[in-house]
Copies of this chain bind each other. A is one copy, B any other.
Amino acid sequence: MREGDEIASILVRAIRETPAREIQDGDILVVAETAISTAEGRVVRLESVVPDRDAQRLAHRYGMDPALVQCILDESDEVVGGIPGFLLCMKHGTLLPNAGVDASNAPPGCVTPLPADPDASALRIKEVIELLTGVRVGVIVADSRTHAMRVGCSGVAIGCAGIPTVMDARGRTDLFGRPLMVTRLALADNLASAAEVVMGEADERTPAAVIRGLGIQVTDISGIESINAEECIFMGLLKQERKRQSSSSHRNDT
């Protein structure tokens, strides 16, 4: 994948060389965010970046390259904290190590931030594929993330078009006829994870996967459902700690 490449038509051609043969009605395509960022020209040469004082301070504290930290700050809505080598950032309502700025599979001396608007990227790929092939597809833009206390990365959907990202089972009942309270299925995240297994993360050169036969109705919807920090058990906890801390240092001051 190179800057300016038209991903949709590359995918339509590439699939002919695979056992999937051709894109079919109802297929869900999972595309790696790095491939999209690269095609969209979202590549930053680190030596062209001038780190400001905040970036230098954070780089020093967490043992990171100041230019990389500056890229991360440019991409973040908020830096929540850090551990050596990583900043934990909020971006578009999601918690993101290093704000998704990634050096892996970027050209030498460069990093690739996430696509500027992953939902728009997903929708564009969907529309071009549908124009080229005449079939209806879903498209997921997938990133790969670590989760709390889990070893290794699993797939996460950061952009989506054509299928719902979350299937809501609230209002349905469990095996014993009892209403389910909180059961929502992270459909797009689960599909991104499934694709991760065949796409890999190193030099596999497989930036996309086709999911077939799920029977999910493809529509014109797009967008990722987001959550409020207060509804998130992890962020909710962190915010509680900070509140308690600030009220305790307030008591300190008085």
Contacts and interface: CB of A to CB of B under 8 A. Distances in A.
A contacts with B: majority SS: mixed
Contacts of A252: 248, 251-252
Given A147-B148, A151-B166, A248-B249, A187 B176 contact: no
Interface of A: 80-83, 85-86, 88, 90, 93-95, 97, 103-108, 144, 146-156, 165-167, 169, 172-178, 180-187, 189-191, 193-194, 196-198, 200-203, 205, 214, 225-227, 229-230, 232-238, 240-242, 244-245, 248-249, 251-252
A186 B145 CA distance: 10
Contacts of A151: 165-166, 184, 186, 225-227
B172 A203 contact: yes
Contact of A149 (B182, B202, B227): B227
Most buried by B among A166, A225, A234, A245: A234
A177 B202 CA distance: 10
A249 B235 CA distance: 22
